[in-house]
Structure 1
Amino acid sequence: MARKIGVYAVLAYVLYGLFFYWYLFYFAHTKLPFEYQGTQADPATFLNGRELMLSEEYSKIKNLLFFLSTPFEWLFYLFILLFGLSKAFKRWAESSSKYKILQIAIYVIWLSFFAFIATFPLNYISYSLSKMYHISTQTFPSWMKDELIDFWVNYGTMLIIVPILYWVMKKSKKRWWLYAWLLSIPFTIFMMFLQPVVIDPLYNDFYPLKNKELETKILTMANKAHIPANHVYEVNMAEKTNAMNAYVTGIGSNARIVLWDTTLDRLSDNQILFIMAHEMCHYVEKHIYFGIAGYLLLSLIGLYLTYRIMNWAVKRWGRELKISDVRDIRSLPLFLLIISVLLFASSPLTNLASRYEESRADRYAINMTKDPTDAIGSFQKLTRSGLSQVNPPLLVKIFRYDHPTMLERIAMLEEYEVKHRN
């Protein structure tokens, strides 16, 4: 039976991959609707022929890698269970230490190591693709360093979550999902507070904006929006990428507005002010806090569904999966598999909510700056720097885009421009 489950899983993955290959390369089209052709949203008006071709090529391959990566993770966890590796990890852990907490730490390091090795090829392909299309400027040693930082940050996080999760499972067989969720609330808030000052600096150097004249303009705008900001931060990304970005991170006193140095180098001051106004909207309208509340609500539903699905799966296929009890550490790959599936399934909803907030931020920014020419120019440059699709296929937009498409964003700015010109 275990062999049959494995064969069916591989067959399903292959068919899934073939479907998305057909969808992205043969079925889906990114041609603009007639009414947008020739407008400022038309990439043919601001990209040359080579850039248009590279944008289509890069986007198709990148999107295919995205759709292949997450189900590959599911396949990995399933095979860890079917091949008895989860059972072996537990045996190795028990033979290495008599202390329960160390046994869990050893089990998690084995599972994390195998996951790192299994997913490395796809991650490397994604990195190589970015290098090939001149999106990434990062050297292999630098990229490998980031991969290893990812590994240890994820391992450290798991080392906090997993012992508590299985302790709660043993304390309450029927309510562990609720107690685990209640404990996750302070942990989530703490991690959001910690992110900008502890985790992010592991990857890059952050410092106050060097251009003091521009910083004064940004802080003046922030003051008009009643935002108590004293600094705008820049981060050195030029040694890693040609893409541009800006974002808001953290909560409370640790909240930061961050600009990539690539953005500072390639956009004019007015274009940067538009982007900053966009980011300020997230603070003004408390999008970060709505995001945390939405995440906690979805995590409550997700943990309950995980509880029900795990019990059902162990009851039906416990022998094949080498799991005798949900509360056994051997069930961790099953827990992670179900969580990953639920996250992927909920991504259309979370992306939709995010696109709504980003759309509001665009409108807030243009109403504050009243400069559609520079706003449109900033989006055109962002598109060029990342070889982004202006009008991506529907499934790509649903599952990948947490921002409106560039077609939607530039079209909104053009409407604003026409309205105020009249």
Structure 2
Amino acid sequence: MSLRVRRGAAGSAAILGAVAISIGAAAGGATAVASTASPATGPDTSTMAVDGAARPALPGATRFATFNASLNRAADGDLLADLSAPDDPQAAQIAEVIQRNRPDVVLLNEFDHVEGGAAVEAFQRNYLAVGRRGARGIEYPYAYTAPVNTGVPSGFDLNRDGEIGGPDDALGFGAFPGQYGMVVLSRHPIDLDAVRTFQHFRWRDMPGALLPDDVETPEPGDWYSPEALDVLPLSSKSHWDVPIRIGSQTVHFLVSHPTPPAFDGPERRNRLRNHDEIRFWADYVTPGRGDYAYDDEGGRGGLPAGARFVVAGDQNADPMDGDGEPGAIAQLLAAPTLIDPWPGSLGAIRASWEQGGANREHRGLSWFDTADFADEGPGNLRVDYVLPSRRLVPVGSGVFWPVPESALSRLNSASDHHLVWVDVLTGLG
């Protein structure tokens, strides 16, 4: 193992029709609805099996996935301790979700970073490689993980509570360095020498950055002092450009986990940071707009024109609902160089109807939801994305959210997020 430490109202009737089909068929057993429709005319479940898992990818296709696995713990060292033994129930469920869907390349968000990659190795050895409840074990010969900003002390009173220290004053929210980290697992070689990380790119160095404002003063964008802005990065965790070698092609796996747009005040420091963390990738993949970016090794600029890439991660932003800054995720979905494959699931529709609460007031279609949040608010949202470039050809996509009648619905509680996958052909275009 290599290891370096838009939704629209047009589809409403069709989606609701799919709800009726899935609910009506459930009494006699779970049934997949075969369709080749676009989101404008109805859901495509032809690439999902009756249990909600992804069908095997087409020959020649590569499956990319993102999964906020919630493999974070309250104290430094706890995750490694849990994964060092083969009997952690949550880790076993997370492993089974991955085994059932079998992505070739997967980003795991909220996987506590352990220097040297010991937690990644333990997860692979004790969980992924061990078949779970009839699912085959899966091995990833290549992996990438690196330090993140969560839990790293800033030395400043970033939340202005009168004290310096604690999770809210860290460079990214976290109780200890590495909490809520990330890892990329791949069955294809990772070009480790070409990986770019943007952990230390400063927020203020983004042109037109939406810096938070102290509403009690006349000066704009002055919530943080100039001294704090000297050290405050844009990324609450990190942004990574991880090149994956698939045959003769290189696909840049662009991964991140922007901060939730909540837990702040009228200054909107988290909402605005979420917006700009998302914007970073939108600029990076658009020729001429990412020239300002500099990586942790001093390299400058975004992706060259024509590069193949997949943007992935828990973006903590829904196109139409939730608490995000208006247009936050739209700026990425509208990037001219990428495609939104519209992954969804019947399980998300069922969950929205049966849980009710804030879901009843949502403007977006529940078919696209990827996270099961509190029913009273914000409700279930689409926050996890796998977005391939136009040089790639998507041939299947989905969200692993089994309907209640499925034997695999027990895996819905593994995390409050669901695995999102997209199959692409890399040798065309």
Query: Shared topology, TM-score over 0.5?
Result: no
Larger strand fraction of residues? 2
| TM-score under structure 1 length normalisation | 0.29
Instruction: Indicate the structure whose relative CO is greater, using CA pairs within 8 Å and at least 6 residues apart.
Output: 1
More helix by share: 1
Q: Which has the larger radius of gyration?
A: 1
TM-score by length of 2: 0.28
